[in-house]
């Protein structure tokens, strides 16, 4: 299941270094969310969830944490412990292997710039500046 979590650039750096991100809940296209938004296609649902995660990331951002970011993961069913309206709870940390991409969030939270996983290491210094 594709899932999104809002983080700071510092948390992206920590994931890059440790290979893990320990969060309890992430936004995901659950059955309830899809049913409530049946007028949206799959791409629009994913974009909506990434913008919701971006709002969280902007709120987390403070001095010294760098840019707001959204991480997109492909979460294996085996670590999903609960499913809610538009999120899932996890029974284990997310790992680098599950990471699909990273979005840098604009200061107003309205624009997302996509980065492939192999581009993260090259951009992390700029995001932390």
In a domain, 128, yes or no: no
In a domain, 129, yes or no: no
Dist CA 25 CA 90 (whole Å): 6
Report CA Rg, the chain.
Answer: 14
Q: What is the domain count for the chain?
A: 1
pTM of the model: 0.95
Taking only the tens place, the pLDDT of each residue in 77-103 is 999 999 999 999 999 999 999 999 999
Range of the domain at 23: 2-123
Token couple for 113: 């710039």
Q: Would you state the pLDDT for residue 107?
A: 87
């Amino acid at each position: 299941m594709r899932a999104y979590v809002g983080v700071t650039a510092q948390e992206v750096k920590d994931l890059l270094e440790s290979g893990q991100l320990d969060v309890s809940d992430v936004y995901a296209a659950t059955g309830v969310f899809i049913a409530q938004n049946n007028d949206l296609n799959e791409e629009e649902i994913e974009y909506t969830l990434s913008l919701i995660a971006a709002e969280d990331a902007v709120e987390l951002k403070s001095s010294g944490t760098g840019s707001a970011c959204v991480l997109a993961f492909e979460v294996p069913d085996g670590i999903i412990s609960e499913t809610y309206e538009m999120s899932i709870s996890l029974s284990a940390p997310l790992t680098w292997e599950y990471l699909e991409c990273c979005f840098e969030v604009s200061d107003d939270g309205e624009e997302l710039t996509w980065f492939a996983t192999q581009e993260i290491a090259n951009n992390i210094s700029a995001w932390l500046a």
